[in-house]
Amino acid sequence: MYFPFQEIEAEELNARDPEFIRIHSLETFGTHDGPGIRMVLFVQGCQFRCLYCQNADTLDVNGGQQVLINELVERAKRQKGYFGADGGVTVSGGEPLLQRAKLITFFKRLHEEGINTCLDTNGRLLDDQVKELLSHTDLILLDVKHINEEWHRKLTGVSNKPTLQVANYCEQIGMPMWLRYVLVPGWSDQPEYVEEWAKHFSDYKCVQKVEILPYHKLGVHKWEMLGMDYGLPGVEAPSAEVKERTLRIFQKYFKNVQLK
């Protein structure tokens, strides 16, 4: 089974059932997707086809389940006492921007309740709805998979230009941003491209943190379960040497770098 991305399905997902968000799963007390303790909503559907995707079961825009926005807001309100000063709600994926119109409503409602909002995205798209969504977002976690256009296409199936446009827009409006980089041996660990990536963002004033996410194989079983051929057979996790080298490069350009 393979889920080719179709733009028409993505637009239907964004427009249909405006009171519902199509989700894959929901995590309470999350600590890995933004600051503090967070409720993390993993939405369904993605337009990237990353060779190493750890959540291949979120790719299908018709998968998952429909959940009322009101129900999600009520869940967040019940957990608000645990969020503290730094926590809140993160929407991850899948790819949240495929349901940007619904997330505008969701984030507005959360702000009305005094709940912090965080968007974890691959930045595939920048339109008026995305800009409005960002106006109701407190923090963006932006995954920039590769700085080189050719390598980005090899790795994800799509161009990196929209992602870089989203990053640039966030810098223009002063949107607090954490940049994320998945370190894949043989694919995104080339020192020259890591350096280029770091230089590209080194002057961004809105970047609060850079997170290095070492590649792992924990999602391979999902590909097998779906009858899909895994995109990176034989690729192992990066060595300690490669991780340390990458960390040193990023630390030349950014004050706050975290190797996850």
Query: Which domain does 126 fall in, by range?
Result: 7-180+203-208
The answer to the question of residue 16 being in a domain is yes
Bridge partners (DSSP) listed for residue 181: 212
Q: Would you state the pLDDT for residue 15?
A: 79
- Beta carbons of 171 and 204 less than 8 angstroms apart: yes
In this prediction, residues 179-192 reach a mean pLDDT of: 98
| Torsion sign (Cα): 152, 121, 256, 202 | positive
The answer to the question of residue 19 being in a domain is yes
What confidence category does residue 135 fall into, taking pLDDT thresholds of 50, 70 and 90?
Answer: very high
Q: Would you state the pLDDT for residue 7?
A: 65
What confidence category does residue 168 fall into, taking pLDDT thresholds of 50, 70 and 90?
Answer: very high
Domain containing residue 128: CATH number? 3.20.20.70
- Beta carbons of 227 and 1 less than 8 angstroms apart: yes
The answer to the question of residue 159 being in a domain is yes
Mean of per-residue pLDDT scores for the chain: 94
**What pLDDT digit, counting tens, does each position of 69-124 carry?**
999 999 999 999 999 999 999 999 999 999 999 999 999 999 999 999 999 999 99
**What pLDDT digit, counting tens, does each position of 241-255 carry?**
999 999 999 999 999
The answer to the question of residue 236 being in a domain is no
Total domains in the fold of the chain: 1
The answer to the question of residue 127 being in a domain is yes
The answer to the question of residue 25 being in a domain is yes
**In this prediction, what percent of the chain has a pLDDT beyond 90?**
90
What confidence category does residue 11 fall into, taking pLDDT thresholds of 50, 70 and 90?
Answer: confident
Number of other CB atoms surrounding residue 115 within 10 Å: 21
**What pLDDT digit, counting tens, does each position of 38-69 carry?**
999 999 999 999 999 999 999 999 899 999 99
Residue 13, pLDDT above cutoff 90: no
What confidence category does residue 205 fall into, taking pLDDT thresholds of 50, 70 and 90?
Answer: very high
**What pLDDT digit, counting tens, does each position of 70-84 carry?**
999 999 999 999 999
